[in-house]
Structure 1
Amino acid sequence: MIIKKLELQGFKSFPERTKIIFHPGITSIIGPNGTGKSNIVDALLWVLGGKRLKSLRAERSGDIIFNGNVKKPPMSMADVTLSLIDEEETLNINHRVFRSGESEYRLSGKKVRLKDIQESLWKKAIAEKEYYVIEQGSIELFLSSKPIEKRLLLEEAAGTAYYKDKKRQTQNKLENSELNLTRLEDIIIEVSKAKNSLKRQAHAAEKYRVLREKIRQFTFLNFRKKIEGIEKIQKETVFVYKKALDQENEIILRLKEEEKNLASKRKETWALEKSIKEAQENLFSLKSQLNRSEAEREKEIKKIDLLEERKKKARENKAELEHELISIEKERSEVENVLKSLSETLKQKQQSLKAADQESQACQKKLAELQKNIETLRNEYLQKLSDHTEIKNEQVKLEKEMELTLRQDEKLKSQLAEEQSLLKQKEKELAQSKEETSRVKKLLEGKKKRLEENQKSLDKIDTYIDRLQNQIAELKRGKDKHTHHLHALEKLKQKEKGTDFPPDLADTLGILADSIESDADHTPLIDIFWKEEAKAVLVHAQDFLHDFANKGLTGNFLLLHPQIKKQSFSEVYHDPRVVGLLKSHIRPSQRIKKHLSQLNEAAIVKDIKNAVELWIRFPAVNYITLHGDLLLSSGLLKLGQKKEGIFSLSQEIKALKQNISLIDKKLSLLTLRMKERTEQKQKLEEKAQVEVELSAQLERKIEGLEKENYFNTLEIEKISTNISVIQKELEIFTDDKKAITKKIETLSSKIRRTEQKEDSMKDIFTKAENEAASFQEENEQRRKHFFELKSSVDLLKEKIKNLNHQLHTLTQRKEIIETKLTSLHKEIRDSEDGKLHFKENVQHFSKKIKNLEEEEKDKETQLIQGEFKLKEAKKEEEELEKRIEKLRENYEVRKEERVKWEIKKAEGERDLMNLEESCWQDLKKTLKEVKDEIPLDILAETDVEDSLAEAQEKLQKFAAVNLMAEEEYSIQKKRFDFLIQQKEDLRESIDSTREAIKKIDQESKSQFSKALNEVNKNFQQVFSLLFEGGNAELKLTDPNQPSESGVEITAQPPGKRLQSLSLLSGGEKSLTSLAFFFALFRYKPAPFCILDEVDAALDETNLSRFLNLMKKIKNQTQFILITHNFKTMEVADYIYGTTMAEPNITSIYSVKLETKRSQ
């Protein structure tokens, strides 16, 4: 399965979706440093499950997402898709991560776990990244790596890494199962306690239930008895109630008949009352009509009197108005005469007023001309005065300006001298500051060089410390794993010893399992054959008799006989079916070596068939197969024995303790190195910190000096500018002084001329004012005469106006009186006509009143007769009401008696209902069901109430009873049985898991041994091919433990003695490492291999050998090379180039080999 396609988007320097197509053979990726070549390798590692960010050259998960540049913003997601293809199928692996930290994997479009992808890759023979990714740094470090790290690569080639992972998972499962078993046993104990407690509670609940049932039977009988009593009383009550009800109904019938008669009589009385009422209403209506007619007649009489009065009053008013009309005529004549006289006087006054007005206007006009002339003279005078003042002000202003100019001139001259002095001082300071800046910069450059050297040393130490930290962390993880495993094994060992294991005693030699050793293949056989002996405490027989015989000890002891027992198995041993004797595969300690003969011996055979055949020939011998089947000399055949016991556990515990001790030694050595390097780093950091602080001080000083130089330069420029400005201002002030002096002289001559003109204008103005004043007085006299005439004219006009108004008023009054006289004449005529009409009405009403009085007498006679009949009817009605009242009293008595028995009947029904409710609550039965179930003859024979009270008293003596105990006990018992079954299943699971681990170990060991031999042969061949001679070998660091031993490389290039690998040159190390990797590929070709600048340390000759070797196997393995070497590029079938047209964005270009050559 090879890489077909790689798609990147948002990963490091690939913001846009980039698709890279790979082909079989050799693909080369070239480009300048920093253009993103290694980012392609990082993407491949990352999508295949690379979890360590440091291996991807990143600190945080966000570092692998495109971080943007000046033009492109950062992206929120990195997405890489890898397509792997073979003849059968295509695998599409997708890995996506977001800035929020969320990450997801997809396999062929389905969301999966990383573990699922790794398992799919295992099935396709794609191992961990160390197997198919070879980097320049890893090539150099490979030979110096630990033997156990080299072993990992061999395990990848052998395919045992997959089994180791499965073993680790199985061990975790075994550990969990053992913990679950322990927890399950604890749960079983707790459940057993709860079960026993519930059993007791269930027994008490059963007694309680029997007594409750007894109480229920007595309650049943008690209810039946109560039913019978209540029903008997109820029967009597119902009989009396019905009798009372019949008597009540009889009285009700009589009462209804009397009430019917009373209603008829009341109806008759009501009809009489109604007719009487109608007669009264008719009589009242006639009286009302009579009264209204009399009132109307009186009203008409009063109207006649009123008309007579109105006629009399109208005649009196008419006389008064005629007298008033005569007086108005007289007054009107007098007013007309006065008005005529005043009109003539007004004409004369108006003529005099007109003449006076003409004279006044002529005087006013002349006075206005004089005032206008005076105003003109005044304005001219004021203008002359203003001009004179203005000239004087200007003169004063010029004098002040001259004074200010002289002061400014002196000030500028002193300022010029100060600026020239300051300029010399600043130029001197600037020169000194530049010299100091140059000196400090030289010091700073020296500090920076020392800092760079110090930083390089720190980087080297950091790299070394990181490597040490990784090694320490790896060792600690290994130690923790071993320690955890050790605790689990010790726990299992303690469990294997059993609870009756004897305590630690003096003079004993420990258990047999701790005193012997064996190889891993035969350890299970010892556990099977010496199962009980392995757990027994070793003690000399004499010591046991002397010290322990009378102590009452328990447990197993293996007594060591003082004499050596000899056994002979020479005949069996020489049989070809016998693999060997069991004792020959153990290594006893010195203290029990001589006593080993007293243990039973067993012959090891291949299978049970051989064992039975040999036993038939040699029945005195015990036989054990390699699979753990046992045939004792007694003929007892034990098949499928448990292969792991206390001896296996002891052996494994010893090995783990040795490993932990070895790890502790390595840890102490690495910790010491770490401490030394950390102290060295701390000193360098302190030194660097001092240098940094000094550099910072120098940089601040340089910055301050440069600022000072800059400001001094600006200050000098400013001062020079100020000097030139001051010199120009002095020249301007000199010119200004001359101009001001000339202006002052001109203004002085002007002032003299203005004063002369001012004096002549003042004389003319005074003369004109005197003339205007005399004419003004004359004009005032004429105006006074004019206003007197005007006021007399106005007074006459007012009088005439008032007289005209008075005349108009009199005319109106005359017209009004004449109108009133006409109205009074009409009123007198209307009164005469109305008086005749009202007299006729009086006669009509008198006739109508007479008729109504006769009709009233007839109505009164009829009313008296009706009232008599009504009185008789009411008397009969009262007699009926008395009879009804007596019947009602009798009815109430009967009703009370009936209600009394009805209440008793309802009480009986209520008692029955209450009894029904109580019966249902206590027995969940109705009264009918109780009556049907129990006959009456039983009640007479049983004292129900006493028996019920006695049973209830017994029930009260019970404490709290758990009525659910029986059900809970049943549930708990089922759970207990289920847990026991689970325990058995768990034990079977643990046994099968241990068997699986053993099979995995055997398979791993076999495959690893095979891979080691084959890779060793390939390594020797490839090494000789690359070095054109020489020897190289792979060997185990501990051949006695091939399953745990590391792998060491020995290499002897041609012409050199066998020496330490650390003494090889860089090129030789790289070539040796490549020889090892290609040896792996020959044994198990990787589908693809990524080589990141591995040719950098090779010279041209070694590079040619390496490239020739790669070309030979390119049909088996797809190679992707990152290189800067032109010779390496020549062997490539495809070339990809990387550039960065924009910062932090990689662009990809591809070229086929043929195209490249034609170009």
Structure 2
Amino acid sequence: MQLQNFKSYRGKREIPFKKFTAIIGPNGAGKSNLMDAISFVLGVASQHLRGRQLNDLIFRFETEQKKVKCYVKLFLTDDKNTTTVFKREIKSTDSSTSCIYSVNDEACSFEDYFSALHKFNIFPKQKNFLIFQGGVEDVAQMSGKQITDLIETLSRSGELKQQYNELQIKEKEAKDSTMFAFQKRKGITAEKKQFKEQKVEAEKYNKLREKLEDSIKLKALYQMYSIEREISDLKDSYKSIKKKMNSIEQDQVKCEDEMKQFKKEQGKDQQEILKMKREIRDAMKEIQAKRSELSKINEEKTFFEKKVKETEMQHKAATENHKKSQLALKRCEVEMEDYEKKVSQFEEERKERAAAKDVELTAEQIALYNKTKEAVGIRTTKQTQQLQTIERDQSVDRSSVEGLVSNVRYMEEKREELGKALLQLRPKCEEIERELKEKIGAREKLQRELDEMNSLSHNLTSQQQEITKRLEEIHQRHDEAKTEMISNENKKRFEEAVETMRRLFPGVHGRVLDIAQPKHQRHNLAMTVALGNHMDSIVVDDEKVGFECIEYLKEQRVGIATFLPIESIKSTPVDDSLRNLGKDVHPIIDLLSFDRTFLKPMEFVCGTTLVVETLDQARKLAFGKERRRVVTVDGTLILKSGLMTGGLTSRLERSAKRWDNKEIAKLKIERDSLLKKLTEISTAILSQAKIQQHSSEIQALATNIEKLQFDHQLHKKKQDKIESELKDIDAKMKEMRPQIKKLQAAIEKRNKNIKDVSETIKMIEEEMFAPFSEQVGIENFREYEEKKLNFAKWESERTLELSKEKNRIETVLEYEQRNSENNSKILEEFTAKLKDFKKQSTAVTKQNAEVEAENDKLKVELEKMEKNLQLFENSLTSKNQKVAEVKEKQTLILKKALSQNKQLNTVDSSLEQFRTKRHELFRTCKREDIEIPITKGALPADVDPPVDQLGKVLLEEDEIEVDYSLLSDEIRTSTKTQLEAAILVWQDKIKEFAIQLENLSPNLKAIDRLNDVEKRLEKTNEELEGTKKSARNAIDDFKKVKDLRIRRFTKAFEHISKQIDLIYKELTGGAGTAYLTLDNLEEPYLHGITYNPMPPNKPFGDISNLSGGEKSVAALALLFALHSYKSAPFFILDEIDAALDPTNVNLVANFIRKRAQGSDIQFIIISLKNKCYEKADGLVGVCLNANQESSETFTFDLEPYPIN
């Protein structure tokens, strides 16, 4: 053997082997590693070589950087001196380790390598070439069955075990099938006998039943003929009505065409009217703009005209003032001249007056006059004051009378004007009231019609909306049903995948839903909402298991899942303070029941979520000082962010639903019914144009009414105002006339009082001035006062007056001189201003004229537009009248159409009724197998179609032509009553036949069952033959394998049984006996083998009763016997002498040496006992190299030396 870097052997080593080689050395030196090297190169797996993997077989250097080459070569030389080299090499890379096999330095496969070993009777699987350390003790403790298994392995009969078991099962199944077929044939034979007896009675029954069927068939034909005759008549009526309706439809089309044409023309006129109204509106806006501009210009014009007038007046005044000042100067000069003249005249007049006076009063007389005058004043004080008061009151009353008379005269004129206006206003008001009443009545009538139309339209629209809403719900529910079915299927697949993963991967525990349950059912919804998607999260031991599960899900394409590894998941335990927040507040984890093994993943998915009873509690906790995630028992969840999701939502409710095909079919039926109703409602809804027309007419009337109401209110206000003013005038005049009379009476009375008081004063004056008159010598004192007494006064006053006049003239002259200068300057200023204002006024007047011209032009264009608008409105009115006429015509046609449609619906309903009767008759015939003779067409395969397909089926049945040749001419020409009577006759016959059939009770299926039984019997016979044949084949196949297995086992056993006694005798010095006994002689491999060794001087007994050394010798005998069967060219033994005493060691060593010398078998033995290895042909010594930490080998040839 050559090895390199194998186990404890560093570098390359070559170890020669003799016929009997002993490997010796201290414990731990590496002796067994040499045996492992031989086993390794002979194909034994690494786990049997005290190494878990191939890398464990490679010598480990101090540095791992060195690439180590490891292999073992074995050189086998046969009796023809041909050497075969077996090599097994370990190839190691960073990522993997593998073995390379080669024979004679040619690489080969594992199978070819083993085939080459088999040629040398080397079988690695059976290990027929070696005994491991401790193998002897294992054999000594083997049971009988284990010895059997050992022989089975060695004889290779065990290779047939699986095939044997499979064929044995097939053989048993074939025998069972054969027995079942026998029993089946027996039962069918008995059935055949029974059904033969029932056949006669059944044939009688069938003849009677044929008569019944013929009667039923004829009755059905009579009924079908009656129905189809009715259908034919109804079809003729239908065609006649349809023809009339076609004519009406043509009239409708014609009216619609006329209406379209008028509508088109109306549209054009309306467009033109709208266009003209826009143009008129634009023109009016432009006129308004011009008016605004004119207003502004007029304001400027007025301003400048006013300024011109004011300036002209000021200029005129200034001119006049200037002239006046000039005149005043001249006048002053003239006045001064006049003054001089006046002075001269005064002197002359004074002289004249002085000369002309008759009476000259002395100072005493003047004093007396004055004294008397004063006394008169004192005496008449009361009368004077009374006179002054009366005159003052008189003056006031005269003024009042004049004012009142003037007012009465004005009011009378005003009353006359208002009366005339009132006479003109009253007829106008009455006319407006009459027109307003007519318009309001017309509007109310139209409004009632519109309300009825709107109500009908609203009701139909509401129904339409409800149906549409319901259809949307059905569509949604239909989609949800499909989605739910798909979701349930996916969920089922996912659950199956989870169960499969639990079986495949031991570390999978299941979903959170599986490992945790709420302690109370009332918390189910809260748990579902709080845990959310984590309900389906899968709990596993570690990440490795999780990744394996993910790969599995990918391969199976089941879906996605979240995995929670117990080993590495990071979780936070629940704070105990959360358990003290209140009686009804609990951390969610406390409400779940689960194994404490899953605490970490449950803490992760639950977190710090709290469960409470009510929403108020949830809000307080969620929105308090510290934000929390809270869920209520009804499923309301409040997140830390404040987001709230509803409680028992429709989505959660829907998730509890389960859908099936029956539910979907119901939804489809309801949908089709609603669609039909929706079509009917859509047809019944009134035209929006008609409603719009009524609305437009009402709107027009409302506008007219509003205008009339405004006019009426305006006229009424005017009338009320006039009447009110008339009432006020009458009231005031009524009040003023008495006042006038009263004042006039007071004035007349006061005149008398004034006269009386004046006379009293005059009498007192005359009385008191009498002495003065007498003294002076005048007749009356008033004469003196008037002529004489005033001269002095006149003189002094005149002198003073002339003095004042002089001073005034001088002052005025000086003033007028200054004033003349100022007026000259002012006149110049106003002249300049007047010129400027006149210039600006002229410009504004010109601009005003231009704008007025443009405005007049626009007004002309506007009038022209309004005339054109009136023409188009007249045209539109004419077309509206034509449209109304066409509408009236359409209404008449519609009434005709409705009448015909009603008749058509009646006929159609009757047709459908009779078609349904015919369908029911066809359906009855189909179900009861009543054969209706048909000459054309065929009955549908499905006589119970869906509701939405029934109408189509009824029409398709029109194409079926029934053969009525069985009916007589008399029946075909009979009346409806006669036909019904004939049907009743057949009905009675059917009852009669049915009663007769009821009295019979045969097995109606006897004939068919007899034929069926005969066929089954024939088939069973064939099956029995086939089963017998299969059983024979199975028995033969099983027997072949069984015989081969027995031969292989028996051959090996017989050889081993012979050899074991001889070998045991040699090992015990010729005095011992050993033999093997089979527990089952027929199939020995099924049971155990009894091994009875009897050492010298020992009684017969079981091996278990022997001592340790005796057991070892017995076990060695068995091992050597086993090896002798198809023995390998060498036999390797690892410390088989460990439990032997020196005597037995010597016997075993002699036995091995004898066998080695007497055969072609090499023996390689590892031994620590010199009694054994000293008998070897050569020694291989093994020791440790402390420096290199490896095993070293030394060889020593013992053949030159004698054994002893």
TM-score, reference length from structure 2: 0.31
TM-score, reference length from structure 1: 0.32
